[in-house]
């Protein structure tokens, strides 16, 4: 990788607080582009345009991600004075149609919780931990990475909120319902006292935390025991259900944006799914002209 690309990655880490996974993805995209057309800091517009052919067999979403990484690099190169021109206009701009996440209904959620609660009726630490995890994913709408990496200090005893560190190292306050508080209290009492980890959900060995992969496996196994299709269940699906069901209950979109930790409300609008019939009913009952039309 060229020194310019390495400097760009260093800037992302230092100034923007990019997460390790984000940095790794950018590094791959930049390295592959330089493999195809050479040093990006010196590549001309014609060379950059050839990337469209190199990426021809990729999915539109992959092309869009790679092009975004290069656009940011070229902007950085211009700011640093390494380039006088910005050739990013030659990069392809695939049309993306972002699909809605899979929707989990209230009945499926009820079945999942009924199974988790039945298994956690005793004092089995694994079952109580799983109930606490499910409560946080659906009850607070946390990302999988946010849940597993929660430090012990994130959830003060009996406090009605969590302090969560999300994407880019940004922190936010997330309400903690009474059910989740009760599940966490039970888990704290059973959490291994000898664990060297400072995380709320420690790994089985070492000072780390429960992995996202393991969380995914635990949820799918729980879904199967609850009689649900495991392919329909994931941490992200529960997060989406949290947002969707809040909106169905009349929550404000801005409030949901804050709870999810989205920097742009457009992300929240795409991420959430509200039944069209409910939106029509909302306009018919809440719009100022609705009462006037009814009285005319």
Residues annotated as catalytic (active site), given as ranges: 143, 167, 236, 239, 262, 271
- In angstroms, the CA 291 to CA 23 distance is 54
Residue whose C-alpha is closest to residue 8's, from 79, 65, 85: 79
Does residue 163 come out as left (phi exceeding 0), alpha (psi in the -120 to 50 range) or beta?
beta
Count CB-CB contacts under 10 A for residue 265: 13
Instruction: Determine phi and psi for 225, rounding to 5 degrees.
Output: -70, -25
Which residue's structure tokens are 């930049």? 30
Residue whose C-alpha is closest to residue 242's, from 128, 127, 112, 54: 112
- With beta carbons less than 8 A apart as the criterion, state whether 155 and 162 touch: yes
DSSP 8-state code for residue 53 = H
Signed CA dihedral, 67, 68, 69, 73: sign only: positive
Residue whose C-alpha is closest to residue 264's, from 278, 274, 254: 254
């Amino acid at each position: 990788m060229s020194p310019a690309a390495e400097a760009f990655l260093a800037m992302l880490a230092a100034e923007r607080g990019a997460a390790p996974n984000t940095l790794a993805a950018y590094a791959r995209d930049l390295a592959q582009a330089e493999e195809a057309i050479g040093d990006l800091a010196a590549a001309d517009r014609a060379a950059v345009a050839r990337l469209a052919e190199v990426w021809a067999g990729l999915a539109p979403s992959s092309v869009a991600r790679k092009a975004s990484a290069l656009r940011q690099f070229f902007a950085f190169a211009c700011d640093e004075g390494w380039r006088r021109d910005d050739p990013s206009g030659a990069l392809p701009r695939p049309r993306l149609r972002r699909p809605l996440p899979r929707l989990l209904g209230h009945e499926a959620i009820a079945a999942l919780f009924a199974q988790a609660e039945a298994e956690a009726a005793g004092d089995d630490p694994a079952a109580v931990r799983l109930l606490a995890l499910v409560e946080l994913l659906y009850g607070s709408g946390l990302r999988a990475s946010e849940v597993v990496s929660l430090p012990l200090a994130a959830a003060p005893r009996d406090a009605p909120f969590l302090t969560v560190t999300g994407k880019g190292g940004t922190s936010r306050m997330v309400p903690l319902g009474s059910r989740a508080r009760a599940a966490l209290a039970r888990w704290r009492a059973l959490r291994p006292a000898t664990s060297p980890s400072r995380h709320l959900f420690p790994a089985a060995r070492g000072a780390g935390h429960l992995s996202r992969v393991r969380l995914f496996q635990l949820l799918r196994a729980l879904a199967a025991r609850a009689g649900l299709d495991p392919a329909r269940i994931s941490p992200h699906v529960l997060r989406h259900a949290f947002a969707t069901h809040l909106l169905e209950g009349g929550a404000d979109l801005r409030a949901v944006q804050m709870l999810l930790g989205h920097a742009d409300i457009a992300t929240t609008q795409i991420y959430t799914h509200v039944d069209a019939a409910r939106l029509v009913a909302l306009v018919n009952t809440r719009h100022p002209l609705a009462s006037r039309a009814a009285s005319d």
